[in-house]
Amino acid sequence: MAQVNSDALVFYGATGDLAFKKIFPALFQMIKRGHLNVPIIGVARGDFNLEKLQGRAKESIQRHANFDDETFEKFLALLAFVGGDYTDPQTFLRVREALGAAKHPTHYLAIPPILFPSIIAQLEQSGCAKGARVIVEKPFGTDYSSALNLNKLLLSKFSESSVYRIDHYLGKRPVNNLVFFRFVNSLLEPVWNKKHIESMQITMAEDFGIQSRGAFYDVTGTIRDVIQNHLFQILCNLTMEPPQTLDSESIRDEKVKVLKSISPLRAQDVVRGQYQGYLQEKAVSKDSKTETFAAMRLHINSPRWDGVPFFIRAGKQLPVTCTEILVRFKHLPSAYSSIASKPNHIRFRISPDVTVAFGMLIMAPEEDMASVLSEVQGNPTPFPKEKDAYERVLTDAMAGDPTHFARQDYVEEAWKLVDDYLHADSPVFDYIPGTWGPEEVNELICPPGGWNNPTLQKK
């Protein structure tokens, strides 16, 4: 199925929140760019019909995309609806009928994983799986064992080349630009190793709480929700070896090698926190020990990175909403070492804006033999009409390009790293909303030179 364009898209969960916020706007933009001109079949349970789905799609696109009547008319011409229970064989016979002459459909499971077994079995029994590929949303399990079972289920009906596991972070241009920036610019590669780099840290901060997602978040937590997937992907982009070729498998091979080189998490390498007031959130257990913040220290046992500590931090109710990377360099021994006040660094900001900054030492004002750190910043200008992450990954999946999707072995290796820790009874420390997590972080998991706390300019 690789590199074969899909001739239909069936997405399950057409009336859900994800469809409203992300999928309808992404499909609309794909049509506007001329990247989608095949039947779109929405499937959902309940009392919906095509007219209601069209109305919901219009509201979604008006709210989350650049709506125009001409493109929406094209969208309506492609849109169909199949209603029914996901356990009812008749539902999938209607899907097969709606597919018509399509021979290579894509089935997008934008639904909770608990429904996967029923749908995957019905796809095969109805003939809908023949020649098809399947897209599944994260989470890919809740631990190593469940990920193994989920992969076993998917691969019992579909080949690995036909399975597309969405991590929308892989569709973000700034995340992929980390790899591009590293390997295209000859400036970095000579110093991108343990000889020159002291440490790296990744921060993903959100200034809001769990909002209305208490039922989901209380059984998930920060490590499962964003670290094990999104931030591990960033770490791999920062530390992978250059692939031999630019095909999808070579790139994904190098990412898996990184994960296999990381030591499993130990209790002393992790600090978990929970913001004060979390226990009062709706649908949260009153004695919950779910973390809303986590910081961890990792080591990559490879010739390039042996001895370099990597620090990852993510949390809710922090001072800002921002994702940022800081790479600190070692001081070079020389006669000037005594006046090198701070180490050089490179700072990558992924969101909300995109920034690349080089921290360099210059002469201090009015002092010939003293230094101060000054940043030289670049702000890459986004291309006009830049693709949203969901638009990018759905476009790739429909075209049969798996580069920006997680492979089976990657998913399993990522879970393997955190599995022992997730099943251990580890403490969770309180922290005040609007701070950078519990005080224990700076005592137990602190990078050399301290954490880089992102700041945003007030508009």
Would you name the residues annotated as active-site residues? Answer: 230
CA atoms within 13 A on the CB side of 66: 9
In whole angstroms, how far apart are CA 450 and each of 129, 134, 200, 206, 312?
52, 44, 11, 20, 13
Amino acid at residue number 247:
D
Nearest C-alpha neighbor of 313 from the set 291, 294, 292: 294
In whole angstroms, how far apart are CA 323 and each of 99, 148, 152, 205, 315?
41, 30, 34, 6, 11
Nearest C-alpha neighbor of 410 from the set 260, 257, 256: 256
Q: What is the DSSP string of 148-173?
A: HHHHHHHHHHS-GGGEEEE-GGGG-H
Calpha distance 168→25 (Å, rounded) = 14
Calpha distance 175→116 (Å, rounded) = 29
Q: Which long-range contacts (CB under 8 A, 24 or more apart) does 88-92 make?
A: 89/122, 89/125, 89/126, 91/43, 91/122, 92/122, 92/123, 92/125, 92/126, 92/128
As a dihedral over the C-alpha atoms of residue 297, residue 299, residue 305, residue 307, rounded to 10 degrees, the angle is 90
Calpha distance 454→285 (Å, rounded) = 32
CA atoms within 13 A on the CB side of 216: 14
Calpha distance 297→301 (Å, rounded) = 13
Tokens 């770490």 found at: 235
Tokens 């890919």 found at: 140
Calpha distance 197→214 (Å, rounded) = 40
Calpha distance 10→346 (Å, rounded) = 43
